């Protein structure tokens, strides 16, 4: 792909499409407020409505005055920005088989995704309500014999918070996935015949869609396995610019791009965390 064939809007769309294909984190959150993001620092305002009171009705009696609903404003700040900037020498482009530029753009998308994906999983791990944490004082030593029961405990925490059952997900590091594969209760509920097009999706257990990720948040040797509803956290991203150019002092095609994104936990009760170690 030479600079003369580069169409910015087309390649920006291709980058975003590639990001969607490899994200794990975006399967765990909602993107309801993505809107029109133009640059790092943009703010999306999220209004949530308070509870609606339900009263007893008495036949042939006047009902009460209408309730004035309260609203809460939360801000999703597009606080993160990552860029890529690479070049392909004309000699390499002429001698190589295949489209080097297309391959390089795919690698750029993967690198951008890796940073954003880790950010989403860290936001979820740090955003759970205090009462929704297992192993808060002492991390659970996770084994093949207790991993299933701890996943059930995560489900119980969400149940007690009246979190909708639909769309619940859980993210496991590969070490935890290796443990649960040794449990017969999961072995029969794997991905046979299920949708395998979702990146990282490995099956269902205890009412959760399970995703595997090397970006599962880890701090000081302790994994933070999160279970969540998509309503608990919102995420927004945009490729705000991609540009192709010829470096002044090189015989080469070059491309640079800017990816901006942000995430916000809007309902801490919709996330449960298991802090654990895995030998």
Taking all residues of the chain, what is their mean pLDDT, rounded to a whole number?
Answer: 87
Which of the pair, 253 or 228, is modelled with greater confidence? 228
Q: Six-digit token pair at 40?
A: 């790092």
* CB 139 within 8 Å of CB 275: yes
Cβ-based neighbour number of residue 189 at 10 Å: 15
Query: Which has more pLDDT, 95 or 233?
Result: 233
User: Structural domains in the chain?
Assistant: 3-49+71-278 (3.90.1690)
Write the pLDDT tens digit of every residue in 260-278.
999 999 999 999 999 999 9
Q: Which pLDDT score is estimated for 193? A: 45
What's the rounded Cα separation, in Å, for the pair 149 and 174? 18
Tokens of 112: 């951008």
Nearest-CA neighbor of 150 among 159, 165, 138, 140?
Answer: 140
- Helices 8-22 and 100-127: crossing angle in degrees, nearest 10, is 50
Under a CB-based contact definition with an 8 Å cutoff, are residues 245 and 140 in contact? no
Q: What is the dihedral of CA 8, 14, 16, 22, to 10 degrees?
A: -150
User: Please, are residues 127 and 268 in contact by the beta-carbon 8 Å criterion?
Assistant: yes
What's the pLDDT tens digit per position in 55-83?
A: 999 999 999 999 988 878 788 999 999 99
Mean pLDDT of 113-120: 94
Q: Considering the entire predicted model, what is its pTM? A: 0.83
Arithmetic mean of pLDDT, 114-135: 96
Q: Average of pLDDT values for 193-208?
A: 74
């Amino acid at each position: 792909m030479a600079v003369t064939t580069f169409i910015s809007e087309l390649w920006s769309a291709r980058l975003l499409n590639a990001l969607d294909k490899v994200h794990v984190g975006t399967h765990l959150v909602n993107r309801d407020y993505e809107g029109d993001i133009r640059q790092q620092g943009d703010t999306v305002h999220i209004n949530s409505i308070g509870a609606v009171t339900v009263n007893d009705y008495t036949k042939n009696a006047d009902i009460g005055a209408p309730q004035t609903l309260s609203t809460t404003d939360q801000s999703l700040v597009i606080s993160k920005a990552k860029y890529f900037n690479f070049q392909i020498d004309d000699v390499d482009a002429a001698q190589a088989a295949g489209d080097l530029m297309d391959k390089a753009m795919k690698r750029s998308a993967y690198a951008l995704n890796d940073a954003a994906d880790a950010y989403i999983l860290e936001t979820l791990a740090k955003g759970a309500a205090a009462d929704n944490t297992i192993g808060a004082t002492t991390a659970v030593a996770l084994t093949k014999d207790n991993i299933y029961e701890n996943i059930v405990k995560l489900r119980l925490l969400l149940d007690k918070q009246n979190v909708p059952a639909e769309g619940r997900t859980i993210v496991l590091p590969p070490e935890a996935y290796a443990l649960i594969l040794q449990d017969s209760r999961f072995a029969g509920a794997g991905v046979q015949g299920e949708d395998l097009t979702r990146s990282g999706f490995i099956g269902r257990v205890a009412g959760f869609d399970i995703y595997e990720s090397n970006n599962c948040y880890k701090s000081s040797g302790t994994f933070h396995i999160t279970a969540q509803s998509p309503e608990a956290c919102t995420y927004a991203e945009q490729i705000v610019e991609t540009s192709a150019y010829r470096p002044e002092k090189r015989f080469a095609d070059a491309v640079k791009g800017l990816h901006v994104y942000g995430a916000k936990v809007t309902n801490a009760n919709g996330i449960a965390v298991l802090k654990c170690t895995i030998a």
